[in-house]
Amino acid sequence: MTEDDILFDEAYELQEVIWRGSCSTIRRCTHRLTAQHFAVKIVDAAKFTAIPSLTLDNLKLEATICHMLKHPHIVELLETYSSEGMVYMVYELMEGADLCIEIVKRATSGFVYSEAVASHYFRQVLEALRYCHDHDIIHRDLRPHNILLANKENSAPVKLAGFGCAKRITDEDVATSGRLGDSFYISPEMALNRPHGKASDVWSAGVLLHILLSGTQPFLGTGESLRYTICSGELHFDAPVWGAISDHAKDLLQQLLHHSWKKKKKPKLDCLICIQNRDKCASRDHLHLTVEEMRIFNARRKLKSLIVATANSIKWGHPSLDPNCDAFSDIDEDES
């Protein structure tokens, strides 16, 4: 996987832990020559391959896909090293947290969070997704956790990360195997273990838009009940939070979470065109209720992360629990 014989430690100095999962850690690192900061994902190959259905090929595929993708709204993988059973993936450093955490943080500091802002962020995510699809890559794990703010500034762009479940496809609907993303975001065809393709990412984008507009997830439950809810695909706009949301936004949501998979008509990212200028004309009124719902949504995610991190620390014997430790993605690996 290494392009030359230089070791990671010779080129970079490791800094603090950003995140710790069961088989990988993300740390800030500094390039020894340029003093520039990056984020390195360090994967323990033995622990990674100990997870059922994961092999080194999965890791290689993730690196290959990430190296291919160069887009202003995708977190760039710059270099990959490997030595002594560890794989080091050096990414550009994202200084902001994930999108939903940042939305609440910024709203708490007094910034307006409106439909126009939601539309602005969502358009960037769709542009990243369209680029992936144009290159026949499906992401398969689109969710707030994998959408990061590039820096702390108010105008910071969002970038798509988390390509651990991504797959190259040569045809429509061929990807049936491999790791799948978080079960709350997967499409009906994925939930039913059927062939799936680009349309599944469009579905996940719909789930994301639902969260951006209302701060709530459209489909809840566990196991069979979650699968049933996803496949019935009913959207309800009667909660008070929806009162401030435009019909245009609700229509878009219906389009993205439309059950066209049953009719063999695949939704595409054409909706990008219709939201292209949306952030310029959408409402600029602050979505107070949405922010409050998103605060609860974030707190639940944090709690889930903490529970998983505790389970991982028991399973793998991590000496301490980092408060930033979020092993959300690792439970997905185990669940899928």
Note the maximum CA span of the chain.
Answer: 60
Q: Is 211 in the site for ligand 3AM (CB under 6 A)?
A: no
Cβ distance to ligand 3AM smaller for residue 21 or 188 = 21
Going by C-alpha positions, the residue among 26, 38, 32 that lies closest to residue 9 is: 32
Active-site entry in 4, 44, 57, 141: 141
Going by C-alpha positions, the residue among 195, 192, 207 that lies closest to residue 122 is: 207
Q: Is 115 in the site for ligand 3AM (CB under 6 A)?
A: no
Among the listed ranges 18-26, 66-74, 103-111, 308-316, the one in contact with ligand 3AM (CB under 6 A) is 18-26
Site map 140..169 versus ligand 3AM, x via CB under 6 A: --------x------------x--------
Cβ distance to ligand 3AM smaller for residue 94 or 253 = 94
Q: How far is CA 321 from CA 183, 203, 303, 313, in A?
A: 25, 34, 13, 7
Cβ distance to ligand 3AM smaller for residue 36 or 254 = 36
Of the residues 42, 65, 94, 150, which one makes contact with ligand 3AM according to CB under 6 A: 94
Of the residues 18, 43, 126, 212, which one makes contact with ligand 3AM according to CB under 6 A: 18
Going by C-alpha positions, the residue among 145, 136, 77, 106 that lies closest to residue 300 is: 145
Q: How far is the CB of 59 from ligand 3AM (least distance, A)?
A: 16
The verdict on whether 322 is a catalytic residue reads no
Q: Is 75 in the site for ligand 3AM (CB under 6 A)?
A: yes
Q: Is 97 in the site for ligand 3AM (CB under 6 A)?
A: yes
Q: How far is the CB of 322 from ligand 3AM (least distance, A)?
A: 9
Residues paired with 12 in a beta bridge: 31
Q: Is 256 in the site for ligand 3AM (CB under 6 A)?
A: no
Is residue 225 classed as helix, strand or coil in its secondary structure? helix
Residue 198, sorted as left (phi over 0), alpha (psi -120 to 50) or beta, turns out to be: alpha
Both structure tokens of 108: 């708490």
**Residues 114 and 291 sit within 8 Å (Cβ to Cβ):** no
Enumerate residues 288-327 that contact ligand 3AM by CB under 6 A. 324, 326
Q: How far is the CB of 326 from ligand 3AM (least distance, A)?
A: 3
Sequence-separated (6 or more) residues with CB below 8 Å from residue 257: 203, 206, 207, 210, 218, 233, 235
Angstrom distance (rounded) from CA 328 to CA 25? 13
Q: How far is the CB of 19 from ligand 3AM (least distance, A)?
A: 3
Angstrom distance (rounded) from CA 279 to CA 213? 13
Q: Which residues are catalytic?
A: 141
Contacts with ligand 3AM by CB under 6 A lie at 18-19, 26, 39, 75, 91-94, 97-98, 148, 161, 324, 326
